[in-house]
Amino acid sequence: MLRPSKSSITLALVMLAGGTSACELGSSQAPESSAGVSIDLGGCSRAAVIEDGEDNDHRVIDHSDRGGYMYTFLDEAGSTVEPTAGRLGGTFSQAEGGANGSMYAAHFSGTLASGSTVFAGYGLNFVNPKGPYDATAYDGVTFFARRGPDSTGAVRLKVPDVNTDPDGGVCSECFNDFGSDLQLEEEWTQFVLPFETLSQSQGWGAPRPGSIDASQIYGLQFQVFSPGASFDIWVDDISFYGCTE
C-alpha cells in the first residue's frame, strides 16, 4: 500500500476571524494522528477528532457525546455510488490508504447520471439516533481529502443544521445546507472551514437564515454534483477545529 509522506500533504489555508491563518493557531500543541503525524486542529486536542477511520468500522469515534454512523447517498436519476451504506441499505466500510500515513480513510466512488439535478456522496451523523449536536465550542471543521486520477475534483461540503435538515422541523424547502464548494487534487490536502464562512447555495431553500446555527448541527456530508462525471473521493481525519473553550 502506498502511503503519502508528510511532506506531500498540503494545507488549504482559510483565513479565520481577525486575520489569523489556520497554520498560526495551535501549531505548537498540534495533536498527532494515529500514525504519529502532527495535525493542526487550531489548538484543539484529539477530543475534537470526529472520525479518522482507524477503527475500520462504520461509526464515528465514540467520544465527546458523539457516536453517529456513516452512510452514502445518491439521487434517483440513475447515478451510482459504492459502497452502498446506511440509507442505501448496506454498511459503510473504510478503505486502505489514509492520510498522514494512516491505514484507513473514507472512500466513495461511482458515476453521476447526466440529468440536470444529480448528486451522490458520503455523510456522517454526530449522534445516534440522529439528532442535533452543539458545536459552539469550535470555530469550524477540518479534514483531509483527495480525488483519484480520473475523478472530478468538484465536491461540496454540506453541514445540515436545524434550519436545513428536515429533522429540525423548520424548513419548508430542505437540504440547502450551509457549506463550501471545494476543488480536490490528487494529493491529500487539509481543508479548514470556519462556520462563519459557510453559506447556502443561491436561488432556493427555505428558510435562508444568513448563517449556520452551530448549536444544532446534524452531521457532515461530502457531495459530488457534476452531471456525467466519474468520482473517486477520499476523506480522512475529519475533526472540529479551533477550540473556543
pLDDT in tens, 10-58: 444 443 333 333 333 333 356 777 666 789 999 999 999 999 999 999 9
Q: Could you tell me which of 30, 66, 23, 62 has the C-alpha nearest to residue 46?
A: 30
Residues 6+ apart with CB under 8 A from 196: 17, 139, 140, 211
Judge whether 112 and 225 are in contact, CB under 8 Å: yes
The grid coordinates of residue 191 equal 481543508
Q: Report the distance separating Cα 35 and Cα 27, nearest Å.
A: 18
The total number of structural domains in the chain stands at 1
- Say if 106 falls within a structural domain: yes
The pLDDT value recorded for residue 104 is 98
Q: What is the pTM of this model?
A: 0.88
Burial of 2 (0-12, 13-18, 19+ CB in 10 A): exposed
The pLDDT value recorded for residue 35 is 67
Which regions in the chain score pLDDT beneath 70? 1-30, 34-36, 244-245
Distance of CA 36 to the CA centre of its chain: 22
Q: Report the distance separating Cα 130 and Cα 232, nearest Å.
A: 27
- Say if 101 falls within a structural domain: yes
The pLDDT value recorded for residue 24 is 32
- Say if 206 falls within a structural domain: no
For residue 58, what are the domain limits? 10-199+211-243
Which CATH number belongs to the domain containing residue 116 in this structure? 2.60.120.430
Q: Report the distance separating Cα 21 and Cα 17, nearest Å.
A: 9
- Say if 205 falls within a structural domain: no
- Say if 5 falls within a structural domain: no
Q: Report the distance separating Cα 92 and Cα 94, nearest Å.
A: 7
- Say if 225 falls within a structural domain: yes
